[in-house]
Copies of this chain bind each other. A is one copy, B any other.
């Protein structure tokens, strides 16, 4: 997302840090994905950014949604989402939350463990279930290989158990990891999914739901494949490897991919301090107030507005009395950076407000939309 003159005029009047979001970019990303992927259903991953106006826009244009909790379920229903368009996509669910979701009309659930299938069969009888498989280590910023997913054999067994329990064995999901740079990761995963589909067909179970998860990358510092590069690989792999399966549904669960480049965060320099190794620059936003992803060195493009000095090595930190609240240990900034400068974090539309705390009695950046500034 670009820093337009309108945005600049607005942030220059702000004394506190702000996040600015552009709904049109989100809608554009949605249609790019929807239109380039055959048989596609887009389940927006609500966790990536659950600001109401984003969700309302996506409801309006017909998106489906991947929800992680009954909190997100209630939020979506309050915004008019149809429960038949919701996928309860968290493999870790309380049994009473499964019942709650079922009672509200949700009929699509994920599992990666036998006990989870049993919970679903008890509380959401007749629902569709899909199994999540684990991916190997791929080139992604946030690999999701450990916490979620099971192997091919167990995925088969989960679908068989689902059938025995009078659920509808519906499909297979995977997640290549958030911000994945390797477009062939999707191909590798789909070949595994095809194995499971054919294996189960022999057992008399015909799956139809291929859930390709999230992970399509957003432009930060490193070059990325385009959405269409990745959807082309997915389309091609499915044509070549799912012969004999009709009525396939190809789901995606984009979070960052839809909203990441539709936002920016603008903070203010509070203090510049000399330290032994290098100078430190302190901002009014930090790890606990919008920039949690940087705690594991996730790299945004950082722009100090209006300063063009030679670049020097700084430590960039947040405003709290907490040693963990360091954004970057080393970052190159113009050497004339100083108090009251505006510092932009580019493409900060995902995982910023959602991770925010009010630690130290400090509020998180307020959210504005480009059509209201």
Interface stretch, picked from A32-40, A280-288, A301-309, is A280-288
Query: Using an 8 Å CB-CB cutoff, how does the interface string of A143-155 with B read, 1 for contact, 0 for none?
Result: 1101110110010
Interface stretch, picked from A18-26, A193-201, A357-365, is A357-365
Task: Evaluate contact between A363 and B71: CB separation under 8 angstroms.
Answer: yes
Bound CA span A90–B71, Å: 35
Interface stretch, picked from A56-64, A229-237, A318-326, is A318-326
Bound CA span A280–B115, Å: 13
Asked if A138 is at the interface of the complex by the 8 Å CB criterion, the answer is no
Q: From A274, which residue of chain B is reached at the shortest CB distance? A: B113
Residues of chain B within 8 A (CB-CB) of A274 are: 113, 150, 154
Bound CA span A271–B67, Å: 18
Task: Evaluate contact between B50 and A361: CB separation under 8 angstroms.
Answer: yes
Bound CA span A70–B16, Å: 13
> Known interface pairs A275-B146, A280-B147. Does A71 touch B360 (Cβ–Cβ under 8 Å)?
yes
Asked if A31 is at the interface of the complex by the 8 Å CB criterion, the answer is no
A15 in complex: contacting residue of B70, B96, B178, B322, CB < 8 Å: B96
A68 in complex: contacting residue of B89, B142, B360, B363, CB < 8 Å: B360
Q: How many chain copies does the complex carry? A: 2
Asked if A273 is at the interface of the complex by the 8 Å CB criterion, the answer is yes
Bound CA span A270–B47, Å: 20
Bound CA span A280–B144, Å: 14
Residues of chain B within 8 A (CB-CB) of A284 are: 94
Asked if A180 is at the interface of the complex by the 8 Å CB criterion, the answer is no
Query: Using an 8 Å CB-CB cutoff, how does the interface string of A301-341 with B read, 1 for contact, 0 for none?
Result: 00000000000000101011111111000000000000100
Task: Evaluate contact between B67 and A147: CB separation under 8 angstroms.
Answer: no
> Known interface pairs A50-B361, A72-B360. Does A144 touch B323 (Cβ–Cβ under 8 Å)?
yes
Asked if A4 is at the interface of the complex by the 8 Å CB criterion, the answer is no
Chain B proximity of A152: nearest CB distance (Å): 13
Residues of chain B within 8 A (CB-CB) of A69 are: 319, 360-362
Residues of chain B within 8 A (CB-CB) of A271 are: 91-93, 113, 115-116
Residues of chain B within 8 A (CB-CB) of A75 are: 361
Known A71-B363, A90-B321, A147-B323; further 12 A-B contacts with Cβ < 8 A = A47-B359, A69-B319, A75-B361, A90-B360, A94-B284, A113-B271, A113-B274, A115-B271, A146-B315, A147-B317, A288-B355, A295-B295
What are 18 A-B interface contacts by the 8 Å CB criterion? A47-B320, A68-B361, A71-B358, A72-B361, A73-B361, A92-B271, A93-B270, A113-B274, A116-B271, A146-B275, A147-B317, A147-B326, A148-B323, A150-B273, A296-B324, A354-B357, A354-B360, A355-B359
Closest 8 pairs (CB-CB, A-B): A71-B361, A72-B361, A69-B361, A68-B360, A113-B273, A92-B282, A68-B321, A144-B323
